Amino acid sequence: MPLRVIVGVAGGIAAYKAVSVVREFVRRGHHVTVIPTGSALKFVGLPTWEAISRNPVPTDLFEGVAEVRHVALGQQANLIVVCPATAHTLASIAGGFAGDLLGTTLLAATAPLVLAPAMHTEMWENPAVQANVETLRQRGVLFVGPDSGPLTGDDSGVGRMSEPETIVNFALSSLTPQSLEGKRVLISAGGTREPLDPVRYLGNRSSGAMGVALAEAARLRGAHVTLVHSHVEVPLPHGVDTVAVSTAQDMLAAMAAAQPTHDIILMAAAVADWRARTLSPQKLRKADQPEYWTPELERTPDILAQLGETKTTGQLLVGFAAETDGDASQRESNARMKLKAKKSDALVLNLVGDQVGFGEVETAVTLITASPQSLTFEGTKSSVAGRLLDALPEL
């Protein structure tokens, strides 16, 4: 469900990173209103905020008086993030100052407030700043960062604003029901590659985006997540254990080793079905091959089926099936046969092709169980991943 998110931006050099925070919230389908302070606009201009947020950007306390905008924005918000939160901003929030639109909005809001501080180390460690931080923490305000690293100029130390994706994930986790708290979730992602020689391989077009989105969504719901990934083309999520693999055999070994200690297993990886029966130790030169070359292939191990055979009582196993058949009923029939054959508890069916399914695109999946009914979810991979996980308790 889309959230109404306010991103407050204070006047610090890290304001440029707040642009990516806004973009990430928008990418995940949320409605974002940016409220920059006057100082913030000296670092990043109004057109940038409006273009990235896709919404008008209010800046003046005396604009929209008839609609009581100075309090309405805060009243309507589901989540508020201030990044960067400068030393002056922390003092203003702690003191309840309402000298600008951001200040009145924060006072009128009841939504969770997340602050991402950014300042030089000496400022962050100043007793006055730390006293304000402690006051805000006692009031329930949430802090993400600051991190340690390069600062403005030649300085380095604590005070660097957290990375945009970290801020967004932390902020959303403050709203997400902890439905998987205490659970250990094992997820596979990406496409395996089966070498033919030292430079060539058999593979597929999977980007790993769905598996990564599932890992992020599971972590936000309180789970301890292990992600076994093979050649993903999207950034790996923060806060999860990751295991890098390459071939189907590698992935089978990693998944089998982790299976006994996990409660939920999501086999989202696109595993190559075939591998070379004999791997050439040298590059196969085109000049040495005939006009039509047919390498001898053998099947790779069926990871989902093997996990189904070794599944323990109470362990939930969910497989994924990519289908290209244009007939929806035939796709579901194929998926139901796979569900039974692999001894999984559920199967996620998705249509893939040249323009759908692969990469950072809108997607539609159908969750199939032994029940004749099925559930279909559409949207971004992040939103679909969350809805899939929210449906798991019913299984």
- The full DSSP string for 96-117 is T--SSHHHHHHHH--S-EEEEE
Read out DSSP for 23-42? HHHHHTT-EEEEEE-TTGGG
Is there a cis peptide before residue 84, judged by omega within 30 degrees of 0? yes
The segments of the chain whose pLDDT lies below 70 read 1, 64-69, 326, 352-362, 395
What's the pLDDT at 211?
Answer: 95
Write down the residue that tokens 């007939």 correspond to. 327
What's the pLDDT at 354?
Answer: 47
How many Cβ atoms are within 10 Å of 157's Cβ, its own excluded? Answer: 15
What's the pLDDT at 235?
Answer: 82
Long-range contacts of 88-91 (CB under 8 A, 24+ apart): 88/10, 88/11, 89/8, 89/10, 89/37, 89/115, 90/115, 90/117, 90/129, 90/132, 90/133, 90/136, 91/128, 91/129, 91/132
How far is the C-alpha of 133 from the C-alpha of 142, rounded, in Å?
10
State which amino acid sits at residue 145.
G
For 47, the enclosing helix (H) or strand (E) is: helix 46-53
Whole-prediction pTM value?
Answer: 0.70
Task: Give the domains, in start order, of the chain with CATH numbers.
Answer: 4-173 (3.40.50.1950), 184-394 (3.40.50.10300)
How far is the C-alpha of 273 from the C-alpha of 299, rounded, in Å?
6
Residue 8 and residue 105 in contact, taking contact as beta carbons nearer than 8 Å = yes
The helix/strand/coil state of 265 is strand
Instruction: State pLDDT tens for residues 285-295.
Output: 887 888 888 88
How far is the C-alpha of 127 from the C-alpha of 186, rounded, in Å?
44
What's the pLDDT at 356?
Answer: 46
Instruction: State pLDDT tens for residues 342-370.
Output: 999 999 998 765 444 444 556 789 999 98
How far is the C-alpha of 263 from the C-alpha of 186, rounded, in Å?
8
Tokens of 146: 């600051």
Helix-, strand-, coil-residue percentages of the chain, each rounded to 5? 35, 25, 40
What's the pLDDT at 116?
Answer: 93
| Residues recognised as catalytic | 204
